[in-house]
Structure 1
Amino acid sequence: MPRGKSVTKLLLDSSQATLFAGIEIHNKPHIDYRYPTSVLLIINAWELALKAYVYKYIGIKRIYERDKKHTISFSKALILVRDHINTTKKIKYSR
Structure 2
Amino acid sequence: MTPPLSSGCLAGITRELLLEWGAAEGLPVREADPGELPFSVLDDVTAGRAHVLVTGSVRNVTPVVRLDDVAVAAGSLSERAAELFVRRRAQHVDP
TM-score (norm 2): 0.28
TM-score (norm 1): 0.28
The answer to which structure has the higher helix fraction is: 1
**Structure having the higher Rg:** 1
